[in-house]
């Protein structure tokens, strides 16, 4: 806290400072520009413009709105001499307020020392040496790149976490970067006082040779299995891993830890040979296998997609002020931001935030380097990740350690985080052993193998140490195994006997069936069943069926009436088939028709089912005397669903043949599902076309043969059944009656997969009591794709929501319904039909405003609209010039009102021409002539006349809330081919596609206010009747050089020219 005595002085100084006007801040930068190795990593052309991107963020966040920025930069090239001279020049001559950059630690020492003398703040983006943490020597310095000391701590934390206390360490000594020298020194400093031991350590000075690598690996093989290898160049990492692979040292025992604090993306390229094609070694496959044993430890960065977007912006911004680097920044290596460019961005942003804090507390201290550095202590989200700066101006980093999967892609294993409180590293819980070490058998490698480095120190096994005990246990275990085998054999025998007993239940002898084949036999049999059946006589429906040519016949079995289905197939049943028959016979549900069993004769098999007195749903629909209301229909639908759900939960899993004939109705008007199961027999039967009307399209293969059904197939059949019930007609009845379509034609269209899908038409009366939710459910259930159909649980919930609040039984309701509804309702039907036609007329008017009449009529008819090629049309794009300015001066409601008035004006113009308005996009207007109705070669003239009318109309157009403003249009016209079609089924759009659309848009965007810009193709149509003026050849974005023209007026009318310069 500041003393109270100086607070008024600071307040006066602050007010005086504010009154002085805008503050000028000069930023000095020291960069590298000529070093081939450092240029792609932190060079000027690939790094410097990161400060201007940071300025965008600073301005957006209003950190320093009253500050004008100036930049001065020099190329110190990591030279101590250059750095000393240019630092002094920045401070003494350029009077900079801060110095950014300093790419190399060795030269940064010079800048830091001079800045400490002059008390100038310094923020480095690439100097990692631990020396700069000493604030006695460098009191004015902060940095956004972490100290290499933190890398040493991170490596030590990783080794301790996995209990790797004995390692081998290899590092290189590059004269320019000395990255690995710093890492080795800090790892050595971090391990002081710990149990970490170097079993072997080696330094490779200068160039890394194959001999040096081999010597190291030969020594390591007998001394370590955990190897920390630091290389200044990525290519040396690949060579090292290939040598390890050649020496069979990339087995599951070995782990190679590769530390690096140079940020990068696409690290999968570590194992790739990036040489020219004719110079590659062809060993990428071996390198990929070798890197599978490697762990990479690097600084954490933001997501790769965000980093790519940022780095792609660097070259563009280099060509803009203040750098204006064009020729010197156009090399291939300058087309993407450098590895350290995110840190340069964060350096500029860090200074701005520190300066903001300083100016708010002590405005006269903006060149106080120590004060600025102290104000750098903060946390923010930067381009290089989360930036945490401590009191000393050092960044507290987070590290990630990753491996390579068998395909060579990076796989994240865990994070090593630096504590904000005490600066210590902490590992979060990494992947489990089953994932991180999955390719190593799920076992974490040991620092020392169980049998030692030589393989001759294996411990004595338990069996060898306790041979007598193992023998005794083995004998006991053998006896237990014998007993277990005996128990299993006995259980299997008992199960077989049980299956034989159950199989005898579904096997029915022919002499058990007494056929009902004549009225005389039926009458004589009536008396025999009166005492056991709930029905005292055989229903007439069975007598009627007995006279039809059908594979169903009716018999008595043990005084019970049964329906027998004849299957003209002879097949051998497997154990799976017998299990299915047992499961069928075990089904017990009020909505499942009982399966009695199978009977065989010389011609095939006969399935025996319980007979239902009222026949099938198909028979119910055939009776015109019954009027079905919603209660009746919903009860039938609910019964079908309950039975279907029960089958899905049983061993059968699916019905597979749901039709209106397989849904039987008993004397209590209860639906029971029949004809389920019998998969072996069904597979040998050929369905008639009329039986395929309920079959889902995915069951048919290319030869129209049926595949194995799934539960989603039953859901499809359920939808067809529901459509029959709510319409009280047979499936596809409207197509059969109105269009005289055959069953084969209907099945063909269903299997064809039309868009929209070919399905039954659900025509309900205007005042139908059918719940609309039921209609929506039916359409969802017969979706073309099985995955789009609702689940059984969803259907149950929907039906539950539609449940009627009535407690009366369906039987009582049927009797009441038959008494209540009698007579003719023709007048009411006529009135409802008339109202429906009126509503349809209104809908047609609205639809014709949204789509071309020809397209709308086809959609209404349920026809698909295939894309159509129009060889020659003319397209017009228009745009309001200065719309953004007009919108900024208007409220949202005023903008909408203005656009509505203008579009209404334009709509009145297009009504007078043979054109079609495609759409309006904001202030844009898209019109085309020549489609959907072709008009020969007049399409260009129609568009030209309309465009001229547009320009005339806007001259007199007044903006009500901005009377002094005028509206100008920029119009572009092009003639050429397009493809047009309807996109989507919900809110369909009639859209245009093709290069002609893009060209017309380019004509508009490259035009001028109050001008009509036309292409050469459009000019060919218009030159004879209109005055046009060549604009010459111009560069059109995405098109290259094009010859374009201005449309002035129509020759015959000699209209007034406009827009001439």
The per-residue pLDDT for 179 is 81
The span from the CA of 1003 to the CA of 972, in Å, is 4
Question: Which of 565-569, 703-707, 755-759 bottoms out in mean pLDDT, i.e. has the lowest?
Answer: 703-707
**Does residue 835 register a pLDDT over 90?**
no
Enclosing domain of residue 773: 620-820
CB count in 10 Å sphere of residue 693: 21
- Show which of 394, 421, 455 is a domain's final residue: 394
| One domain for residues 628 and 695 | yes
> What pLDDT does residue 532 have?
36
- CATH code of residue 92: 3.40.50.2300
Residue 37 pLDDT > 50: yes
* CA dist., res. 971 & res. 1046, Å (int): 10
Average of per-residue pLDDT across 381-406: 90
Structure tokens at 226: 């955990």
Same domain? For 841 and 758 the reply is no
How confident is the model at residue 266, as a pLDDT? 56
Spatial CA neighbour of 566 closest among 611, 604, 511: 604
Dihedral sign, Cα of residue 221, residue 224, residue 225, residue 228: negative
Residues 627 and 753 in one domain: yes
**Is 295 in the same domain as 349?**
no
Q: Residue range 600-629: average pLDDT? A: 78
Q: Residue 422: which pLDDT band, with cuts at 50, 70 and 90?
A: low
- Decide if 229 contacts 264 (C-beta within 8 A): no
CA–CA separation, 553 and 545 (whole Å): 8
Residue 18 in this model has a pLDDT that exceeds 80: no
Q: How far apart are CA 138 and CA 131, in angstroms?
A: 9
**pLDDT at position 767:** 78
390 confidence band (pLDDT: 50, 70, 90): very high
pLDDT band at 8 (very low <50, low <70, confident <90, very high): very low
CA distance 745 to 278: 63
941 within some domain: yes
Q: Residue 900 in 3-state DSSP?
A: helix
Tell me the average pLDDT of the chain: 84
Closest CA to 518 of 548, 546, 553, 549: 546
Per-residue pLDDT at 376 exceeds 50? yes
- 716 and 736 in a single domain? The answer is yes
Claim to verify: residue 142 and residue 169 sit in the same structural domain: no
> For residue 544, what pLDDT is reported?
52
Does residue 732 share a domain with residue 650? yes
50 lies in the same domain as 142: yes
Note the pTM of the prediction, 2 decimals. Answer: 0.45
pLDDT in tens, 310-335: 999 999 999 999 999 987 787 776 67
Whether residue 88 sits in one domain with residue 49: yes
User: Residue 764: CB partners within 8 Å, gap ≥ 6?
Assistant: 726, 727, 770, 775
Q: What is the predicted pLDDT for the residue at 470?
A: 87
pLDDT score of 783: 92
Q: Are 91 and 110 in contact (CB under 8 A)?
A: no
| Residue 858 shares a structural domain with residue 873 | no
Give the pLDDT band of residue 244 (cuts 50, 70, 90).
Answer: very high
Q: Which of the residue ranges 423-432, 671-680, 1035-1044 would you say has the lowest mean pLDDT? A: 423-432
Q: Which residues pair with 1049 in a beta bridge?
A: 1027
Contact (Cβ atoms closer than 8 angstroms) between residue 879 and residue 967: no
Q: What is the pLDDT of residue 549?
A: 44
Q: Does any domain span residue 979? A: yes
Is there a domain that residue 541 lies in? no
Give the containing element (helix H, strand E) for 664.
Answer: strand 663-665
Provide the pLDDT confidence category of residue 7 given band limits of 50, 70 and 90.
very low
Q: Taking 70 as the threshold, does the pLDDT of residue 542 lie above it?
A: no
Which residues partner with 415 through β-bridges? 400
pLDDT at 191 over 50: yes
Confidence at residue 630, expressed as pLDDT on a 0 to 100 scale: 83
Are 774 and 687 a contacting pair, CB within 8 Å?
no
The rounded distance, in Å, linking the Cα atoms of 620 and 726 is: 13
Q: For the chain, what is the domain count?
A: 5
DSSP H or E run through 31: strand 23-31
Among 512-521, 730-739, 836-845, 1001-1010, the least confident range: 512-521
Does 537 map to a domain?
A: no
Give the DSSP letter string of 310-365. HHHHHHHHHTSTTT---STT-SGGGSS--TTHHHHHHHHHHHHHHHHHHHHH-GGG
Start-to-end Cα distance in the chain: 66
Is the predicted pLDDT of residue 396 greater than 60, yes or no?
yes
Q: Residue holding tokens 């090239």?
A: 77
Contacts of 164 (CB under 8 A, 6+ apart): 226, 255, 447
Structure tokens belonging to residue 282 = 């062809």
**How many whole angstroms separate alpha carbon 443 and alpha carbon 441?**
5
Residue 415 confidence (pLDDT) above 70: yes
Q: Strand 552-557 relative to strand 560-567: parallel, antiparallel, unpaired? A: antiparallel
473: in domain: no
Three-state secondary-structure class, residue 913: coil
> Does 629 map to a domain?
yes
Q: Quick one: tokens of 401? A: 């350690």
Residue 475 domain-assigned (yes or no): no
Most confident of 433-447, 526-540, 663-677: 663-677
- What pLDDT was estimated at residue 804? 61
Residue 70, pLDDT score: 96
Which CATH number covers residue 898? 3.30.70.1230
Nearest to 844 by CA among 858, 828, 860: 860
* The domain boundary residue, chosen from 394, 417, 448: 394
3-state helix, strand, coil in the chain (%, to 5): 45, 20, 35
pLDDT at position 857 over 80: no
Decide if 180 contacts 173 (C-beta within 8 A). yes
Same domain, 977 and 885: yes
Residue 408's region, left for phi above 0, alpha for psi from -120 to 50, else beta, is: left
Rounded Cα–Cα distance for residues 504 and 369 (Å): 99
Residue 557 CA to residue 510 CA, distance in Å, equals: 10
Mean pLDDT, rounded, for 1009-1036: 90
Choice between 215 and 576, residue whose per-residue pLDDT is larger: 215
Instruction: Please indicate, yes or no, whether residues 856 and 883 belong to a single structural domain of this protein.
Output: no
pLDDT of residue 1052: 65
Name the percent of the chain lying above pLDDT 90.
Answer: 38
Cβ atoms 46, 39 nearer than 8 A: yes
- Round to whole Å and give the CA distance between 115 and 24: 20
Question: Which pLDDT value is given to residue 874?
Answer: 94
Predicted confidence at residue 817, as pLDDT, reads 55
Tally of CA atoms within 13 A in the half-sphere of 11 that contains its CB: 7
Among 581, 583, 534, smallest CA distance to 561 is for 534
Q: What is the CATH number of the domain that holds 692?
A: 1.10.510.10
Closest C-alpha among 452, 434, 529, 492 to residue 221: 452
530 has a pLDDT exceeding 50: no
> Which range in 317-331, 470-484, 1038-1052 is most confidently predicted, on average pLDDT?
470-484
Give the range with max mean pLDDT: 138-142, 429-433, 729-733: 138-142
Over the stretch 777-831, which tens digit does the pLDDT of each residue have?
Answer: 999 999 999 999 999 999 999 998 887 655 555 666 655 555 555 444 566 667 7
Confidence bin at 507 (pLDDT 50/70/90): confident
Distant-in-sequence, close-in-space partners of 326: CB < 8 Å, separation ≥ 6: 319
CB burial of 487-517 (b: ≥16 within 10 Å; e: otherwise) equals: eeeeeeeeeeeeeeebbeebebeeeebbebe
Can you give the pLDDT at residue 961?
Answer: 83
Which residue, 1025, 1000, 994, is CA-closest to 1013?
1000
pLDDT digits (tens, 9 = 90+) for 270-310: 888 877 666 788 888 999 999 999 999 988 877 777 888 99
Residue 58 CA: distances (Å) to CA of 28, 63, 324, 720, 978: 18, 6, 21, 64, 47
Which residue, of 759, 791, 820, is where some domain finishes?
820
Sheet (strand 560-567) strand order: 513-515, 552-557, 560-567, 604-610, 595-601
Model confidence at 176, in pLDDT bands (50, 70, 90)? Answer: low
Q: Has residue 889 got a pLDDT over 80? A: yes
Question: Alpha-carbon distance 422 to 418, whole Å?
Answer: 8
Q: Evaluate if residue 143 carries a pLDDT over 60.
A: yes
Q: How confident is the model at residue 182 (pLDDT cuts 50, 70, 90)?
A: confident
């Amino acid at each position: 806290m500041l003393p109270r005595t100086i607070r008024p002085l600071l307040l006066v100084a602050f007010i005086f400072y504010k009154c002085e006007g805008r503050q000028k801040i000069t930023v000095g930068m020291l960069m590298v520009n000529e070093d081939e190795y450092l240029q792609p990593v932190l060079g000027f052309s690939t790094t410097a413009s990161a400060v201007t991107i940071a300025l965008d963020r600073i301005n957006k966040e209003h950190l320093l709105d009253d500050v004008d920025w100036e930049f001065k930069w020099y190329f110190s090239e990591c030279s101590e001499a250059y750095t000393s001279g240019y630092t002094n020049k920045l401070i003494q001559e350029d009077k900079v307020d801060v110095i950014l950059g300093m790419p190399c630690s060795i030269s940064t020492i010079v800048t830091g020392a001079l800045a400490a003398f002059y008390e100038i703040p310094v923020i480095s983006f690439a100097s990692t040496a631990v020396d700069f943490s000493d604030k006695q020597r460098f009191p004015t310095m902060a940095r956004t790149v972490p100290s290499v000391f933190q890398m040493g701590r991170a490596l030590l934390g990783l080794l301790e976490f996995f209990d790797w206390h004995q390692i081998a360490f290899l590092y290189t000594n590059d004269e320019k970067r000395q990255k690995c020298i710093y890492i080795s020194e800090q790892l050595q400093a971090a391990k002081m006082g710990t149990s970490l031991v170097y079993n072997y350590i080696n330094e490779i000075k200068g160039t890394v040779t194959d001999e040096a690598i081999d010597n190291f690996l030969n020594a390591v093989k007998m001394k370590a299995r955990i190897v920390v290898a630091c290389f200044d160049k990525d290519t040396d990492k690949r060579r090292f891993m290939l040598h390890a692979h050649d020496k069979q040292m990339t087995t599951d025992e070995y782990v190679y830890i590769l530390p690096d604090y140079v940020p990068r993306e696409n690290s999968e390229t570590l194992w790739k040979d990036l040489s020219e094609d004719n110079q590659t070694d062809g060993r990428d496959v071996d390198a990929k296998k070798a890197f599978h044993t490697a762990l990479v430890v690097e600084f954490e960065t933001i997501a790769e997609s965000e980093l790519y977007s940022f780095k792609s912006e660097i070259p563009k911004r280099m060509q803009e002020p203040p750098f204006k680097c064009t020729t010197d920044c156009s090399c291939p290596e300058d087309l993407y931001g450098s590895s350290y460019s995110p840190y340069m961005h964060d350096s500029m942003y860090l200074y701005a935030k520190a300066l903001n804090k300083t100016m708010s507390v002590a405005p006269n201290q903006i060149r106080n380097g120590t004060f600025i550095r102290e104000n750098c202590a903060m946390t923010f989200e930067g381009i290089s990740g989360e930036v945490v700066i401590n009191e000393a101006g050092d960044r507290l980093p987070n590290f990630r350690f990753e491996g390579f999967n068998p395909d060579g892609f990076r796989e994240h294993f865990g994070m090593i985080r630096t504590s904000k409180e005490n600066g210590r590293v902490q590992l979060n819980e990494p992947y489990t052993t089953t994932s991180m070490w999955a390719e190593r058998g799920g076992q974490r490698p040991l620092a020392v193998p169980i049998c030692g480095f030589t393989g001759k120190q294996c411990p004595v096994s338990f069996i060898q140490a306790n041979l007598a005990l193992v023998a005794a246990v083995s004998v006991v275990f053998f006896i237990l195994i014998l007993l277990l085998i005996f128990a299993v054999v006995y259980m299997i025998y008992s199960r077989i006997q049980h299956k034989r007993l159950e199989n005898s239940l579904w096997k029915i002898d022919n002499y058990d069936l007494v056929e009902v084949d004549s009225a005389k036999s039926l009458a004589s049999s009536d008396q025999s069943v009166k005492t056991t059946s709930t029905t005292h006589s055989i229903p007439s429906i069975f007598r009627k069926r007995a006279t039809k040519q059908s594979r169903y016949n009716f018999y008595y079995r043990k005084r019970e009436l049964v329906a027998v289905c004849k299957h003209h197939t002879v097949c051998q049943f497997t154990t799976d088939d017998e299990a299915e028959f047992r499961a069928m016979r075990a089904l017990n549900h009020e909505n499942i028709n009982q399966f009695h069993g199978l009977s065989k004769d010389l011609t095939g098999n006969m399935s025996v089912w319980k007979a239902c007195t009222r026949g099938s749903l198909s028979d119910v629909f055939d009776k015109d005397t019954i009027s079905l209301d919603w209660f009746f229909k919903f009860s039938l639908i609910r019964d079908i669903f309950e039975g279907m759900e029960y089958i899905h939960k049983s061993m059968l899993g699916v019905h597979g043949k749901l039709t209106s004939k397989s849904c039987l109705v008993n004397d209590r008007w209860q639906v029971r599902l029949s004809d389920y199961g019998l998969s072996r027999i069904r597979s040998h039967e050929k369905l008639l076309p009329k039986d395929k009307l309920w079959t889902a399209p995915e069951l048919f293969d290319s030869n129209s043969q049926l595949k194995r059904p799934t539960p989603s197939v039953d859901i499809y059949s359920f939808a067809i059944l529901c459509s029959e019930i709510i319409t009280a007609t047979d499936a596809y009845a409207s197509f059969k009656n109105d269009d005289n379509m055959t069953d084969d034609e209907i099945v063909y269209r269903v299997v064809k997969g039309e868009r929209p899908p070919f399905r039954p038409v659900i025509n309900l009366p205007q005042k139908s009591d059918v719940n609309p939710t039921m209609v929506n459910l039916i359409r969802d259930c017969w979706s073309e794709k099985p995955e789009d159909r609702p689940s059984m649980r969803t259907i149950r919930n929907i039906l539950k929501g539609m449940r009627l609040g009535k407690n009366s039984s369906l039987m009582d309701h049927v009797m009441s319904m038959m008494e209540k509804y009698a007579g003719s309702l023709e007048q009411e039907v006529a009135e409802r039909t008339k109202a429906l036609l009126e509503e349809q007329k209104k809908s047609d008017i609205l639809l014709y405003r949204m789509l071309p009449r020809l397209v709308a009529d086809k959609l209404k008819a349920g026809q698909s609209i295939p894309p159509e090629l129009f060889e020659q049309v003319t397209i017009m794009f228009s745009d309001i010039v200065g719309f953004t300015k007009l919108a900024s001066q208007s409220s949202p409601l005023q903008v909408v009102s203005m656009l509505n008035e203008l579009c209404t004006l334009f709509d009145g113009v297009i009504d007078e021409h043979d054109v079609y308005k495609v759409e309006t996009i904001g202030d844009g207007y898209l019109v085309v002539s020549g489609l959907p109705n072709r008009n020969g070669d007049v399409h260009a003239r129609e568009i030209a006349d309309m465009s001229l009318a547009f320009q005339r109309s806007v001259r007199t157009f007044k903006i009500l809330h901005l009377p002094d403003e005028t509206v100008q249009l920029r119009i572009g016209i092009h003639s050429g081919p397009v493809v047009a079609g309807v996109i989507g089924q919900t809110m369909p759009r009639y859209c245009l596609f093709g290069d002609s659309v893009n060209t017309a848009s380019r004509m508009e965007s490259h035009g001028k206010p109050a001008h009509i810009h036309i292409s050469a193709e459009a000019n060919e149509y218009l030159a004879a009747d209109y005055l046009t003026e060549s604009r010459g050849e111009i560069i059109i974005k995405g098109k290259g050089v094009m010859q374009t023209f201005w449309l002035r007026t129509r020759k015959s009318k000699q209209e007034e020219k406009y827009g001439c310069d």
